[in-house]
Structures are given as C-alpha cells and as structure tokens.
Amino acid sequence: MLGLTGRFLIAGGLGLAVLGALLLLAERAGLSRLPGDLVYRRGGVTFFVPLGTSLLLSILLTLFLLLLRKR
C-alpha cells in the first residue's frame, strides 16, 4: 500500500516540475498573455482573467487525453 502511495507522490511531483518548466518556457517565448486574456487595472488593484490561456490549455489537454484514450 505504501509503495503505491509513494509512486503516486513521485509521479505527481515530477508532473508538477514538468508543468512548472513548461510554464517558464512559455513565458520566455512570449506566451504569458494571449489574445483574449483580460486585464483590469484601477488604482492599486489589478484583476487578470486568462480566458485565452484557459481555452488554449483546455484544447491541448483534451487532445492529450484523447490520444491517451486511443492507446
């Protein structure tokens, strides 16, 4: 039982590390704010709604999961 939990935690940690690296690379490539992302600034308050980024991530995740399902 503990072996399965340990493997799950290692896989989750590696997944988060890869996701973090991809986010850093995307920011360097200029993909930190896509068209469709809304930014509202008033005084000292900034409100950011990543609609374009969410849509892109949803499409990519859907394609990835469809590829996994076909195996």
Query: CA dist 15 to 18, 44, 55, 63, Å?
Result: 5, 35, 21, 18
Give the pLDDT confidence of 33-49 residue by residue, as tens digits: 778 889 899 999 999 88
Do 40 and 19 belong to one domain?
A: no
2/17 same-domain check: yes
The model's pTM: 0.55
**Does 28 lie in the same domain as 56?**
no
Q: Which residue segment(s) compose the domain that 4 sits in? A: 1-32
Which amino acid is present at 14?
A: L
Same domain, 41 and 23: no
Read off the pLDDT band of 1 (50, 70, 90): low
